[in-house]
Amino acid sequence: MIAVTSTALKIAKPCPLPLALCHVEAGFPSPADDYMEGSLDLNEHVIKHPSATYFVRASGDSMIGVGIFNGDLLIVDRSLEASSGKIIIAEVDGQLTVKRLLKLNDRFSLQSENSSYPPIELQEGNEVVVWGVVTHVIHDLL
């Protein structure tokens, strides 16, 4: 979590959490020193294309089936190609919405992950305007 909350979308900035730490006391070096591997950076795990990655806030309950709850943070990568089955941010009537993209019999639809919302069927010839592909959800447990 520290990696993501530490700074305002400074994606490229690493936020290292040391894998091992050795306090040299009285001159005995740690036997682990030779095995130090550097640090883990959560940004590295969730952000593959920094200049194309945006953080977006989810609102509402239409996607709870896939684990996206009201107020969750979505990591969106615009560089990825959208394909059937992916969770995407799409443009519908001038609004941005998060839905699952599905292709059935050559027709695209945008599915909610909550049975109380009907799918948005796209008319033939109408293309889905994809804003980006959602790669991760960050859900606060506290």
Taking CB under 8 A as the criterion, the residue among 42, 64, 66, 73 binding another protein is: 73
98 vs 39: CA distance, rounded Å: 33
Helix, strand, or coil (residue 98): strand
Nearer to another protein by Cβ, of 61 and 102: the residue is 61
Q: Does position 83 bind another protein by CB under 8 A?
A: no
52 vs 36: CA distance, rounded Å: 32
Residue 39 phi, psi (nearest 5):
-130, 165
CB of 121 to another protein, least distance (A): 18
Q: Does position 91 bind another protein by CB under 8 A?
A: yes
Taking CB under 8 A as the criterion, the residue among 45, 96, 121, 139 binding another protein is: 96
Please enumerate in sequence order all residues whose Cβ is within 8 A of that of 90, keeping only pairs 6 or more positions apart, or say none. 96, 97, 98, 99, 101, 110, 128, 129, 130, 131
**H-run or E-run covering 4:** helix 2-5
Q: Does position 5 bind another protein by CB under 8 A?
A: yes
CB of 41 to another protein, least distance (A): 15
Taking CB under 8 A as the criterion, the residue among 36, 39, 59, 121 binding another protein is: 59
Region binding another protein by CB under 8 A among candidate stretches 20-28, 30-38, 96-104, 119-127: 96-104
